[in-house]
Amino acid sequence: MPVLNNRDELDRLRVEAQAVLEERAVTAPTIFIGMGTCGIAAGASNVEKSVRVELAARNLEVEVVSVGCIGMCVKEPLVDIQLPGQPRVTYSNVKPEEVGRIIDEHLINGQFIKRKAFAQLTNGSGAVVEGLATYAEHPFYRKQIRIALRNCGMIDPESITDYFASDGYRGLARVLSEMESEDVIEEMKDSGLRGRGGAGFLTGVKWEFCMRARGYPKYVICNADEGDPGAFMDRSILEGDPHAVIEGMTIAAYAIGAPEGYIYCRAEYPLA
């Protein structure tokens, strides 16, 4: 990862990252596999192994990308097939023994399997798979406005290139190049962002208290602990879009004057 000295360098890196992803979408097929905790619990690890075995058996060199959870855990394991210039088609409840047929019919012959297909993600090219709902049309998603979780299930969470291509770190670049600490805090206040506890305390006010505190050094602590058994609020974003957490923490650190930050995540969440 290169050291970036100014916003122009970040913008140039973002353009390069977007070009990499666009080339991936139009020049070669890609397989995406939901490898969040929910997917793994449903058998995604065996599905992923089967994908690699079936590809090798057919002498196919296809990029296999692990992604986080898209929120429809009951449909896991999820496998997406994206042919060059075509929509990304999601297959649900995939079993290892079904992988070979999906590769033969969709990846090789270009015919999606309607019985197994869950939804499609269009890529802006205008291409669409007839007879299959888009994510925007699907009953589970059509009324959702995904903000914090917008990248989960869409990008490789371990790839900073994917995050840059999805406008990642653009907010941090703006903060560092255009704003003072006080400006960041005022914008946070104006946004109305609040804590999710019972008090609904304004985030901007919390940051202001920290900025004005005399003690030093200061620290940013990301509390990724979840008291509710089986809750997936924090895990979803840590598993599916971790760079978003790092970017948010870095903006907070700049606002309050903290040189260090820590993420607290319990040991029961090994993937997160």
Domain residue extents for the chain:
7-164, 169-265
At residue 2, the pLDDT reads 64
Residue 169 has pLDDT above 80, yes or no: yes
Per-residue buried b or exposed e for 126-143, using 16+ beta carbons within 10 Å of the residue's own CB: eeebeebeebeebeebee
| SS3 at position 90 | strand
At residue 260, the pLDDT reads 95
Residues 265 and 227: beta-carbon distance below 8 Å: no
Instruction: Please name the residues in contact with 114: beta carbons below 8 A apart, sequence gap of 6 or more.
Output: 131, 132
Instruction: Please name the residues in contact with 90: beta carbons below 8 A apart, sequence gap of 6 or more.
Output: 78, 79, 80, 117, 118, 119, 120, 121
Residue 74 has pLDDT above 70, yes or no: yes
Q: How many CA atoms lie within 13 A of 136 on its CB side?
A: 4
Count CB neighbours of 205 within 10 A. Answer: 14
Distance in angstroms between the alpha carbons of the first and the last residue of the chain: 22
Token pair listed for 180: 């003072």
Q: What is the dihedral of CA 130, 134, 137, 143, to 10 degrees?
A: 180
Amino acid at 5: N
Token pair listed for 136: 């925007």
Lowest-pLDDT choice from 75-84, 169-178, 262-271? 262-271
Amino acid at 218: K
Cis peptide before 84 (omega within 30 of 0): no
Longest pairwise C-alpha distance within the chain: 66
The pTM (predicted TM-score) of the whole model is 0.89
At residue 126, the pLDDT reads 64
Residues 262 and 219: beta-carbon distance below 8 Å: yes
Percentage of the residues of the chain whose pLDDT score is greater than 90: 68
Cα 87–chain centre separation: 18
Residue 125 has pLDDT above 70, yes or no: no
Residues pairing with 89 in the sheet: 81, 120
- Read off the pLDDT band of 124 (50, 70, 90): low
At residue 230, the pLDDT reads 65
| Radius of gyration of the CA atoms of the chain, in A | 21
- Read off the pLDDT band of 269 (50, 70, 90): confident
Q: Under CATH, to which class is 7-164 assigned?
A: alpha beta
Residues 250 and 172: beta-carbon distance below 8 Å: yes
Mean pLDDT within 8-36: 86
- Read off the pLDDT band of 49 (50, 70, 90): very high
